[in-house]
Every structure is written in structure tokens, then in C-alpha cells.
Amino acid sequence: MRETVPRPTVVVAADYFQSYAVVGLLAVVGVLFVAVAFGAGRLLRPVVPTPEKLLTYECGVDPVGEGWAHTQVRYYVYAFLYVIFAVDSIFLFPWATVFAAPGYGAATLVEMFVFLGFLAVGLLYAYKKGVLAWT
């Protein structure tokens, strides 16, 4: 049997920080790339301010009336429900990798049905409260 000689701590720390140096260098290069692109755009673009360009508008329509508008809360509820179910569906991907591993099939299958049950109860609750009714 061959004996392994432990590596000195200084060498291990140098290897450790070297991999972070690569990540840091890539981050600096990325920031510089964006800064150069914005700087070049600022230097190369024409600057001709006119009253029409300084006017506030949305989607090409001139503003008319006051800036206050009534917004329906139900749109936020739909967005909130979408975010909840989208984030919860992210848990399906790690589950699928664990489910494929040998020895975890039955336990992970039961856990996923419990998880999907909680999602179904939440969706049923939202339906019963009338949140999903489009009026």
C-alpha cells in the first residue's frame, strides 16, 4: 500500500483562492465589457433634445388627464398565484433527480404526492374564495 503525504495547508489555500481569482477576473471582465459598451453608446449617439423627446408618454400615446388610475387588485392576485405555482414547480426538478436514484423511489413518490396535495389544496382554496373567477 502506498502512503499519501498530506499537502501543506498553504498549497491547498492557494489552490482554493486561485479558483476564486478566476471567477473574480471573469466578473471584472464582464463589468468592464458593460461599462465600455455604455460608454461607447454615450459617445456615439446623437444628442438633440426637443420638447417632443422630453414629453412623458407610454407606448407612444401622449398623456391625457391625471396620472392617477384605478388598478384592479385581481391582476396582482393572478400574478401572485402564478409566482407561487412557478416557484413551487421548481421543486419538481430536484425531486426528479432524487427519484431516479436507486433506493429512493417509494419515499420520494409519497413526498411528491404530499407536496402536490398541498398545492391542490391551495388552488382549491383560491377557487372557493372566487379569486380565479374572471369578472
- The tens digit of pLDDT for each residue in 59-117 reads 666 666 676 767 677 777 778 778 877 877 787 777 777 777 777 777 778 888 888 88
Our CA angle for 121, 85, 123, nearest 5°, is: 25
| Per-residue model confidence (pLDDT) at position 24 | 92
pLDDT, residue 1, reads: 55
SS3 string, the chain, reads: CCCCCCCCHHHHHHHHHHHHHHHHHHHHHHHHHHHHHHHHHHHHCCCCCCCCCCCCCECCECCCCCCCCCCCCHHHHHHHHHHHHHHHHHCHHHHHHHHHCCCCHHHHHHHHHHHHHHHHHHHHHHHHCCCCCCC
- Mean pLDDT over residues 26-44, rounded? 96
pTM of the model: 0.39
Summarize the confidence of residues 27-43 as an average pLDDT: 96
